[in-house]
Structure 1
Amino acid sequence: MKLSVSGRATATAVVAAATLLATGSIAGAAPAPEPVAIAAAPDIPVTAVKAHLTQLQSIATANGGNRAHGRTGYRASLDYVKAKLDAAGFTTTIQQFTASGRVGYNLIADWPGGDTNQVVMAGSHLDSVSSGAGINDNGTGSAAVLEAALTVARTGYQPTKHLRFAWWGAEELGLVGSRYYVNSLSLANRARISGYLNFDMIGSPNPGYFVYDDDPAIEKTFKDYFAGIGVATEIETEGDGRSDHAPFKSAGVPVGGLFTGASRAKTAAQVTKWGGTAGQAFDRCYHSSCDTTANVNDTALNRNADALAHAVWTLSQ
């Protein structure tokens, strides 16, 4: 709307008065409080994330080719992640449950400090299917969450809110581990979680850039990050409700997350937006033996790992 001459004069006077008040130039006026600076997230080196993927691949190779629930490869994967977190100063907890006649485990890692009445969580499922090593699904999410947690420790980050990271077991059997965790929480402890961020497949070889359409503030945080690096996003629909955010959402916890696509084919319009191959699945090796370290797009993994860190830092201050 265009202002009239008198309107412009009035607006100018209002701005001038506001400026005087803000600077304390009017007698008796208190200075305006300084804005609180938001610490920017550090870069998450994709080489560090890939180093974790190499370890997960080696674990799978040494344990029958997979890291599935109830198998030795899963427990070895959990032990690898836990050792890294323990050495970095996290308080770690292993939560045990049973599914399909086998013992499963969740790993929870709390960073000391922050307001425990406001908990920001980031998590991923650590198990693979029995047919392969599960490096994109979901070594990529697990490795990126791990490296973000290690970066918190390495930088000595002290957020206002309390940070908690999680690696879920038996997701491939129907979100068993994450559901067990949520159901084990008291109503008061559920209410203390101000947001849960989920990362399940974030390095697909023919990638898309999908953001969960759930909590508006979390969704905006991710979209703003990608907009800032010039990458278009779409709303995630292929796996909606099929990953570990679902039990949190059902319990009333605000959720969000990232995804680079699974078995659905990339469209020509998406190729125009992101590159890649039209008519081909985002991940041709989804739930297959070829889901190895060769099945990861480094650019997508790097962008999503940095977006993960951006959300953790932004939402915890």
Structure 2
Amino acid sequence: MAGITSADVARESGVSRTTVSYVLTGRDGVNISEETRRRVRETATRLGYAPSAAARALRTGRSDLVLCILPDWPVGPVIETLLDELADELSGRGLSVLVHHGRGARPLSDLWRAVTPRAVIGFAPFAEDDLLAMRQAGIQVLGTLGEDRQPDPDLPSESQLRIGALQAECLTVRATRLGYAWPADARLAVFARDRLRGVQRICAELDRPEPVVLPVGLDVESAAEAVRAWRGLGITGIAAYNDDVALAVLAGMRAEGLSCPDDCAVVGVDDVPAARLAAPALTTVSQSIEVQARYLAALVLADLDGAAEKPGHPGHGLHLVERDSA
């Protein structure tokens, strides 16, 4: 039923709107019997009443929403796991996570003014005017590393560089020349760029040739075409942007009648569930997403509690998961 208000709940329950508000917001120190509380909750459930987050924020002076702003990224298992773990961590303090994907031309200010978040987590740098407006409105703004200032998007990410380095360090044990499987989705270029730089850094340190970079789509035909090209250049080790791309490379190798790792070794990134089920099981770099989610939650809670010190960064938790593909 649309348009249900607290007045409807009050009328059906035989109590005042004030009593409904006290019961549904969990207010302590108010003399309301358990029978009345039960009746109000049951009536609200039966009518389908949900308190307005904006109205609650106006009454209490604070919101229970933590708004996560995602850029226009494809959402895969890693982001899903991060957001799920973050929601679990914050729910213990009565906070809810709302996710917004930055697609379309609607101004960000329209969003945070509509939902009145208590805190905003940016997964990429905000425009300076958005950042200033949120802070002036008293909204706590965090980056995923707890930055006090906006990170420079042109500077390489140390964690992404390390991912590529771990891939290259594994592959160069046996491969003299590497290939890099670049994602076909252009939205992933910012991550792929720095991971590739990490591979290039290790190749340079070992005086190996530059990795041969080829785009690989998530289909057998695209992957097989890249595999043929790498094979013709003597490539015997491939660092893939992530596990999805690595699994495509494995499919392309099978289509070309090649064996992994005998003909060519492959290393992915993310350690998705399918990685251990692949044939051969995929060697990959894990990002320890659960650790990052707990750190993000701790940052939010420390800032909301006005803690003098922020929690220490746990490190990126990157490590190589060795399986049969390399």
TM-score, normalised via structure 1 length? 0.31
Normalising by structure 2, report the TM-score: 0.30
Larger relative contact order (Cα-Cα within 8 Å, sequence gap ≥ 6): 1
Pair member with larger Rg: 2
